[in-house]
Structure 1
Amino acid sequence: MNTNMAHSKKQEVLRLRIENSFQQLKRLKKQKNRESFNKELLELLPDIKKHINRRLTVALKKEYFPKNKYSVDDFVSQLFIEVYDNIDTVKEEKHLYLWLFKKTNELLEDVIVEEEFDDFFFKNIDTYSKLEWDAMEQEFSVDAGRDFVMMEEFDDVSYSHEGYTLNHVFVEDNKKALIDKIDKSLDDKTIANHLKTVLYNLPLSMQDVYELYAEQKFSLAEIAEIRNMAVEDVETLLKDARKALQVSLFNRYPAQ
């Protein structure tokens, strides 16, 4: 659990850093100093670039847009333009972090055309054998190596364990004993790789909601704002993602 606490602190520091840059960005915009504006903004974007990279990688795997048509840099460049042109619409510094993700999501949604909800994996998640889970994790590892950018740029984000811990999966108070039991049986890397494998096979909307919640520490209301959907729908997607993760753990590691 220490990993999760450290990650939460890291996200708090990042939000504060972005908020502290707000007035500087507005001053640079007022001065029409686009070069310095972009330089300042670039320092704030590592997590957003990770988010774009992850969304594009999964979308490509699921064939939601043509291969080699887009790159992470394409979206980052467009995001620079959007932020520079529209930052004056952000009234308070505390809204900037959410607004950046909302703008990013709008850019992604313009090009990623999701198919109708495919619930085959979700409905059958309690039927897979350990061998099938092992094969899926191997496939995930191979696909993760085909990301749009070199992973070294993002501190090896494909294998980072931040945001992929049990206390995001089991939130009920009566599950603490179960969390402790799994924690003692499986190391952080094993847990993280399993959770990422399951998420990778879930619908994009479910993945996105879970990762915005667990990885970026957004509230349900903030995620609803980012994704332009009702809070109730966000809550349902998060609940379904947790259910899939819980069932998968029970079935893959029944003896733990």
Structure 2
Amino acid sequence: METAMSDIKIIMKETYSKLVTFKRKENRESFNKELLKVLPQIYRYVSKRLNSAVANGKLNKGMFNPSDFTDQLFIEVYDNIDDIKSENELHVFLFKKVDELLEDSLVEEEFDHVFFDNIDTYSKPEWDAMEENYTQDGDGDFLLLEELDDSSLDKTNYTLNHVFITDEEKKLADKLDASLDKERIYNHIQLVLDKMNLPMRTVFELFTNEGLTTEEIADIRKTTLDQVEELLASARLLLKNSFEKRFLIDSN
């Protein structure tokens, strides 16, 4: 995961420099081809947002396609590249703009209190049924465009290290890691994320999947750093509790 993030930063730096040059030369065609190199990451993020909305019944299948949102970025970046001063600013700008477009189109999702209020009572078969329903109804409906690199849809992005961060928690993670494969970990995390409200889930995904700092996320989400850190901590706690209740308690 760290290698992937490093690769993204290198590509973003190279792309930013070229975008500035192409804009200066008013070479729109080369500008768009260069921007396309960094869009798989953004397209994946939009896909996850749309998949979650479908899984939660907030969006009908086929109503939107990720390209409905990412295509607008070619215009937004071209018009604003002169005001974007670094590759880090470009990275944040892309997420901020696509987030604005998503917010205008998607209904705000409520916190699924029923799910979390009853997390202690779910049996193993109930957990398995919820996971099966999730993978059938929501996950994987939206894929990258053919010209984009589909490796950016790697389902192993989520790891236990994103949830269990203290030394004591890592002991629990070791127990889970011994019994769960990466696909199972991903499916469980995504299932629980889709039961969270939109701000909490988005903060967690931007921090873990996209490698953005809490300061950058606060900028993207137009909120305070304290709020971002609180949402991130709450998301981790809910995920940690869900893993414990589902996989580490003998009664389940």
Matching residue's letter, 2:205:
E
Matching residue's letter, 2:102:
L
List alignment gaps of at least 5 residues for structure 1.
1-6
2:192 matched to 1:233? no
The structure 2 residue matched to 1:203, chosen from 197, 207, 218, is: 197
Q: Is the 8 A contact 1:209 1:238 kept in 2?
A: yes
Q: What's 2:124 paired with?
A: 130
2:135 matched to 1:141? yes
Q: What's 1:3 paired with?
A: none
Q: What's 2:40 paired with?
A: 46
Q: What's 2:156 paired with?
A: 161
Q: Is the 8 A contact 1:65 1:112 kept in 2?
A: yes
List alignment gaps of at least 5 residues for structure 2.
none
Matching residue's letter, 1:154:
D
2:168 matched to 1:174? yes
Q: Is the 8 A contact 2:66 2:142 kept in 1?
A: yes
- For residue 138 of structure 1, report the CA deviation from its aligned partner: 0.2
2:81 matched to 1:92? no
Measured on the aligned residues, the alpha-carbon RMSD in Å equals 2.2
Over 3 Å counting, the alpha-carbon distance change for 1:249 and 1:65 in structure 2 is closer
Matches within 5 A, 1:213-228: 213-228=207-222
Q: Is the 8 A contact 1:209 1:223 kept in 2?
A: yes
Over 3 Å counting, the alpha-carbon distance change for 1:222 and 1:122 in structure 2 is farther
Q: Matched residue of 1:45: which SS?
A: helix
Q: State the distance in 2 between where 1:150 and 1:31 align.
A: 30
Matching residue's letter, 1:108:
L
Q: What's 1:35 paired with?
A: 29
Q: Is the 8 A contact 2:41 2:152 kept in 1?
A: no
Q: Is the 8 A contact 1:19 1:96 kept in 2?
A: no
Q: What's 2:68 paired with?
A: 74
Matches within 5 A, 1:175-194: 175-194=169-188
Q: Is the 8 A contact 1:75 1:107 kept in 2?
A: yes
2:72 matched to 1:83? no
Over 3 Å counting, the alpha-carbon distance change for 1:225 and 1:141 in structure 2 is same
Q: Which moved more, 1:38-47 or 1:192-201?
A: 192-201
The structure 1 residue matched to 2:241, chosen from 240, 247, 251, is: 247
Q: State the distance in 2 between where 1:145 and 1:10 align.
A: 22
Q: Is the 8 A contact 1:209 1:234 kept in 2?
A: yes
- For residue 132 of structure 1, report the CA deviation from its aligned partner: 1.4
TM-score normalised by L of structure 2: 0.89
Deviations 1:173-207 (A, max 9, x none): 22222222221122222222211211122222221
Matching residue's letter, 1:71:
N
- For residue 113 of structure 1, report the CA deviation from its aligned partner: 2.4
Q: Which moved more, 1:118-127 or 1:133-142?
A: 118-127
Q: Is the 8 A contact 1:49 1:72 kept in 2?
A: yes
